[in-house]
């Protein structure tokens, strides 16, 4: 089942995404929540923090697994996804530090790190809901367009378009890491529910290809059409070509 949810703007999109996540946190005794970075989920994280501050949400039993991390960046680097998640969510709610999981960008041994992270995700007993954003080229997490769909956590070379899209956060393009650890498409598809949020006119064409076009590893997000329970939350601009 793929449910397309059209919202009027970014604020409404953020609230909708936060609602889907909050529901899992409330309904499961030990919620396992898959989280994402990028600019798209920031508004949803702000909503979750707001509800936590109002006493409507409790993170004490929540376990999180994040999608990806730049290879080579230590946790205290302000561009690492570890830093981003703490800055935008974890530092503001009562999640236990030991329940927070991300790939370790400082592990030089890619095979070991990928195996370790697969075991971590499996060890949670299964993700109740996985949040995703989408790159301009249709990538999910850091799974770039390719000839095949990846299975488990893997070490990827970032495409130039992704480096260009993300360089706005770094001092210069040369500072953007060239490799990242990312959950595989297979791992992402194993989540019980998936919510993917996309906003802005710039992604409207990719939204159309991903959710109405053929399922192909050339548009990695298209695989979600085969998932049993996925919520595609769009603002008006991202939905404009549907
Ligand atoms: C990065 C992340 C993705 C994210 C994408 C889109 O590449 N690895 O998980 O979906 O950026 O980011 P934004 O939401 O800023 O457009």
Q: pLDDT per residue over 74-102, tens digit each?
A: 999 999 999 999 999 999 999 999 999 99
Q: With the CA atoms of 92, 88, 149 and 122 taken in that order, what torsion angle do they form, in degrees rounded to the nearest 10?
A: -20
Instruction: For residue 34, give the nearest of 160, 155, 130, 98 by alpha carbon.
Output: 130
Helix (H, G, I), strand (E, B) or coil at 11: helix
> Closest residue (by CA) to atom 3 of ligand 1?
141
Whole-model pTM?
0.96
Q: Identify whether the C-beta of residue 107 lies closer than 8 Å to the C-beta of residue 116.
A: yes
Q: What is the pLDDT of residue 206?
A: 98
- Going from the C-alpha of 222 to that of each of 139, 153, 161, 179, 196, the distances in angstroms are 9, 19, 19, 23, 11
Phi/psi of residue 143, each to 5°? -80, 100
Q: What is the pLDDT of residue 169?
A: 87
Instruction: For residue 160, give the nearest of 174, 149, 171 by alpha carbon.
Output: 174
235 has catalytic annotation: no
Residues in the chain with pLDDT < 50? none
Task: Determine the distance separating the centroid of ligand 1 and the alpha carbon of 41, expressed in angstroms.
Answer: 9
Q: What is the pLDDT of residue 161?
A: 87
Which atom of ligand 1 is the closest one to the Cα of 180?
Answer: 8
CA–CA dist 173, 1 (Å, integer):
40
């Amino acid at each position: 089942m793929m449910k397309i949810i059209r919202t009027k703007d970014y604020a409404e999109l953020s609230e909708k995404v936060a609602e889907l996540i909050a529901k899992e946190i409330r309904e499961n005794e030990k919620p396992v929540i898959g989280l994402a970075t990028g600019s798209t989920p920031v508004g949803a994280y702000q909503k979750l923090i707001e509800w936590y501050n109002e006493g409507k949400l409790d993170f004490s039993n929540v376990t999180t697994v994040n999608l990806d991390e730049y290879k080579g960046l230590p946790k205290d680097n302000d561009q690492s996804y570890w830093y981003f998640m703490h800055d935008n969510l974890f530092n503001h709610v009562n999640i236990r530090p030991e329940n927070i999981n991300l790939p370790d960008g400082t592990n030089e041994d890619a095979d070991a790190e990928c195996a370790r992270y697969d075991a971590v995700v499996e060890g949670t007993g299964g993700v109740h809901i996985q949040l995703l954003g989408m790159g301009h080229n249709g990538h999910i997490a850091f799974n770039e367009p390719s000839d095949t769909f990846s299975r488990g956590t893997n070490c990827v070379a970032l495409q130039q378009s992704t480096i260009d899209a993300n360089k706005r956060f770094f001092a210069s393009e040369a500072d953007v890491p060239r490799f990242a650890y990312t959950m595989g498409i297979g791992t992402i598809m194993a989540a019980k529910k998936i919510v993917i949020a996309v906003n802005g006119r710039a992604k409207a064409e990719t939204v159309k290809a991903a959710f109405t076009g053929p399922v192909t590893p050339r548009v990695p997000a298209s695989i979600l059409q085969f998932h049993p329970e996925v919520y595609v939350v769009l603002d008006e601009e991202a939905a404009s070509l549907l």
